[in-house]
Chains A and B, each alone.
Chain A
Amino acid sequence: MLSMKNINKVFKTDLVETHALRDFNLEVKEGEFVAVTGPSGSGKTTFLNIAGLLEGFTNGDYFLDGVNISNLSDNKSAAIRNEKIGFIFQGFNLIPDLNLAENVEVPLRYRGFSRSERDKRVKQALEQVGLGARMKHLPAQLSGGQQQRVAIARALAGEPRFLLADEPTGNLDSMMARQVMELLEDINKAGTTIIMVTHDPELARRAQRNIQIVDGQVCDFTMYQGGQPQLVSDNVQAVS
């Protein structure tokens, strides 16, 4: 599903070179729920941006759903993001001047779906997150947890193969965080591959697999089965 081999990402300024990712290797299988943890500045967000085609990488190989991501045109990247990837952001990133239905509809319009198809998917996605009755509300009229559910609905409406969540519960209280997490688990059970970046070890533990990034490398790889942690490898290489 997702395969990164020897990915390097170097940020250059006039004075310094910063290696955000170094020889980064990761394989994620279809249907997995992977939690990515790591300290601030470790490269989690850079990994997420590269995985989600939000930014390029300096060198290495990246295949997503069989497509070689290296040297894709800007339009092709946008099309892959739109079709294959669903994004959930820490700050929800809803458009404040659009109502819930219009927000969920945004990626569907870029896909070029017909109006009836868009309406059907918007309704379905909002109902899936329990907000089918509030389609005409504005984001500001909702709680943080509800806003994140709208963002999840927006990510789901395009029926992506692959969901990328960036601290999805980072701005929520524990009860709302739990609800959102349960929703993500349900989505994963339905077959969508999920990679979730989080600071919260509790949440990370609920994922099937947990990888830790330190200094731009995968340095710890743990698989949880039935909620019991098992150390699989303490090596840099992460292979499942």
Chain B
Amino acid sequence: MLQIKPILSMLLRSKSSPLLLLLQIILSVAIVANASFIIHERLALMDRDSGVVEQEVFDFTMYSFDPSVDLVQQQHKDLQLIRDLPGVKSATFSSMTPLSGGGWSSSFTIGTSEEDERSAPNSAMYYGDEQMVDTLGVKLIEGRNLRPEEILPTFTDSGVKGIVSKAFADQAFPDESAVGKVIYNGNLGEEAIEIIGVVERLQGAWVNSDNLEYSVIIGVELTNAFMRYLVRAEEGTFTRLKEQIPEVLHKDQKNRVIQNFTTLTEHRTSVYRDHELMASVLSLMVVLLLLITSLGLTGMVMFNIERRTKQIGTRRALGATKRDVVSLFLVENYIICLVGGVVGGLLAIALGQQLMQHYDLPQLEWQYPLATIVGLVIVTTLAVVFPATKAAKISPAIATRSV
């Protein structure tokens, strides 16, 4: 551009105020780039698909305090009563609820002898019946679903059938189909689970876990005094069903506490609350930093206009057009902004590496400092154009004023 060299000379000779602004920009870029990256990471985490039709599924808990009740028989009756309610598509008992932040997990052993024994990843463990797959709405992509007669009353060393998530299958049996394979819940040979199906996706309960995508559903009954049920129902029926379910179940057997009706959508909101808060706070910080930077830029331009009124008038007298005056301020601030942006970008990468080392964060991608610099150029333009346009209106006649 026409005026870069003399403007650069001017900036180098009037160090103090551009230097302060430069420091502000460097720090802003370093912080904004990393904050934007963290925000994006958090939003990406929150955006992950659980594999479950969350808008249709809810859970509730039941505590039976009457020791005389036959829990096995009662559970069969309860499930039938729930499934018969209008709007209910399917229902099952379960050891856990996806995205709830709590549940059961287990590590598994694979192999046929001690020589080829290896570990499968630690996974969420869903105890459920033949309606578990339908209740969660997970998509079976290989093998078949559990059959009612395959649901065993207790965990035995053989005969238990299971369905695994594709992530688990790929990890445990990378080069072959998982269907027909056996995994052991504990040591080799103990509590064998035969894999009969694979679902496309099913997350566990712990969203911050690296093993979130690894899940195993097993066809084993759970009949404790404290139970959890999962229900899939038509959308819009939740409010009615959370009244009706306790009503029909209490009618059949009143000595129990039925509560904690929670939709999967509510579980998701709750389990990702920290991430959402972090993203919101960081977003606010990014906006504030950009605002402060733009105010700094506007302030400096206004200060310079005040300080250089006569100089601007003289430039106009010497032939500068209004556009030349605006571009003088723009170029001047673009130089500060780009130098600050590049140094700030390098600092952002250094800061990102520190964050990566000390906290559980992935490496900052180079696009973030670059996008921050682009954003900064836009902010600079907006912050500078208005006062500079005002400066361009300074009359050239100001040059002949003696004071």
Contact = CB atoms under 8 A, between A and B. Distances in A.
A93 B316 contact: no
Interface string A128-146: 0000000000100000000
A60 interface: no
A95 interface: yes
Contact of A78 (B310, B320, B395, B399): B320
Contact of B10 (A79, A83, A98, A111): A98
Contacts of A206: none
B2 interface: yes
A31 interface: no
Interface string A148-159: 000000100010
B174 interface: no
B192 to A, nearest CB: 83
Interface in B83-104: none
A74 interface: yes
A89 B318 CA distance: 11
Contacts of A83: 319
Contacts of A106: 6, 315, 318
B399 A110 contact: no
A167 B403 CA distance: 14
Contact of A81 (B2, B318, B395): B318
B402 A91 contact: yes
A73 B318 CA distance: 16
A93 B402 contact: no
Contacts of A109: 2-3, 6
A102 B396 contact: no
A98 B395 contact: no
Contact of B6 (A102, A111, A166): A102
A42 interface: no
Contacts of A99: 9
Contact of B319 (A55, A82, A89, A98): A82
Contacts of B324: 78, 110
B177 interface: no
B13 A78 contact: no
B322 interface: yes
Contacts of A54: 316-317, 395-397, 399-400
A154 B318 CA distance: 9
A166 B400 contact: yes
A110 B319 CA distance: 6
Interface residues of B, number: 27
A55 B394 CA distance: 11
Q: Of residues B3, B320, B322, B396, which shows the largest number of chain A Cβ atoms within 10 Å of its Cβ?
A: B396
Q: Of residues B318, B396, B402, which shows the largest number of chain A Cβ atoms within 10 Å of its Cβ?
A: B318
Interface string B308-332: 0011001111111111100000000
A48 interface: yes
Contacts of B396: 53-55, 81
A95 B400 contact: no
Given A54-B395, A78-B320, A110-B319, A97 B314 contact: no
Contacts of B397: 49, 54-55
B316 A78 contact: yes
A82 B324 CA distance: 13
Interface residues of A, number: 37
Nearest to B12: A97
A48 B317 contact: no
A231 B304 CA distance: 50
B73 interface: no
Interface string A108-122: 011110000000000
B14 interface: yes
Contacts of B310: 91, 93
A220 interface: no
Contacts of A87: 314, 317-318, 399
Contacts of B400: 45, 48-49, 52, 54, 89-90, 166
A45 B401 CA distance: 8
Contact of B395 (A55, A91, A97): A55
A48 B401 CA distance: 11
Contacts of A97: 9-10, 13-14
A93 B319 contact: no
Contacts of B14: 97
A178 B399 CA distance: 24
A174 interface: no
Given A78-B320, A81-B319, A102 B9 contact: yes
Nearest to A103: B6
B321 A75 contact: yes
A110 B320 contact: yes
Contacts of B320: 78, 110
A232 B33 CA distance: 77
A107 interface: yes
A89 B320 CA distance: 17
A74 B10 contact: no
A214 B252 CA distance: 114
Contacts of A98: 6, 9-10
A106 B399 CA distance: 15
Interface in A26-54: 45, 48-49, 52-54
Q: Of residues B310, B400, B402, which shows the largest number of chain A Cβ atoms within 10 Å of its Cβ?
A: B400
Given A90-B400, A95-B10, 6 more contacts: A54-B399, A74-B321, A75-B322, A110-B315, A110-B319, A138-B13
10 contacts: A49-B397, A49-B400, A74-B322, A75-B321, A78-B316, A78-B324, A89-B399, A93-B314, A109-B6, A154-B318
Instruction: Kindly list the 7 A-B residue pairs having the minimum CB-CB distance in the complex, ordered from nearest.
Output: A82-B319, A110-B319, A107-B318, A97-B10, A54-B397, A93-B314, A55-B397
